[in-house]
């Protein structure tokens, strides 16, 4: 897989929620989605992959269960190239803040991938919910490794 760093999607905004009102048992709070919002932008990482992997990605993102629908989004890379990408938009969601752990994973990913400092500040300013319980060991490991890389 090949990646282009720091692309942004114009006129979209990041949001968090629970699909169909069902709380994430993995993340214990809202999970990410995007929605159209003129004047806003979402920054991230684009991965180039083979179309034969789309069904696997759709499965991972919960398309079959109706949690997310695939959408096409036009993005601008840091080199100024316009490309059309596949993204996922949550369906029928209730807006819910992310858990502190989910927010941390999002912020660590933004830092590790060199997203613009102003956008990182926006992510860091997101108010998480008050979940103080445990998350899986796998997620804890992701957080520990991410913190070690970015400090």
Q: Give catalytic residue positions.
A: 61
68 annotated ligand binder: no
Cα gap 63→69, rounded to integer Å = 6
Q: Where are the alpha helices (DSSP H) in the chain?
A: 54-60, 100-112, 117-124, 137-150
Which helix H or strand E contains 76, and what residues bound it? strand 68-76
> Tokens for 1?
């897989």
Cα gap 43→34, rounded to integer Å = 11
Which helix H or strand E contains 40, and what residues bound it? strand 31-43
Helix (H, G, I), strand (E, B) or coil at 27: coil
Residues annotated within the binding site are 102
| Residues of the binding site for substrate | 102
């Amino acid at each position: 897989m090949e990646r282009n760093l720091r692309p942004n999607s114009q006129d979209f905004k990041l949001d968090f929620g629970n699909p169909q009102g069902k709380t994430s048992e993995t993340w214990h709070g809202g999970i990410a989605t995007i929605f159209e919002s003129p004047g806003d932008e979402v920054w991230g990482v684009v991965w180039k992959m083979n179309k034969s992997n789309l069904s696997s990605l759709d499965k991972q993102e919960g398309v079959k269960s109706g949690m997310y629908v695939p959408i096409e989004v036009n993005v601008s890379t840091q080199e100024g190239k316009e490309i059309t990408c596949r993204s996922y938009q949550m369906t029928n969601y209730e807006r819910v803040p992310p858990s502190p752990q989910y927010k941390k994973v999002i912020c660590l990913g933004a830092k590790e991938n060199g997203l613009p400092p102003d956008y990182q500040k926006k992510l860091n300013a997101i108010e998480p919910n008050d979940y103080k319980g445990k998350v899986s060991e796998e997620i804890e490991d992701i957080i520990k490794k991410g913190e070690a890389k970015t400090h």
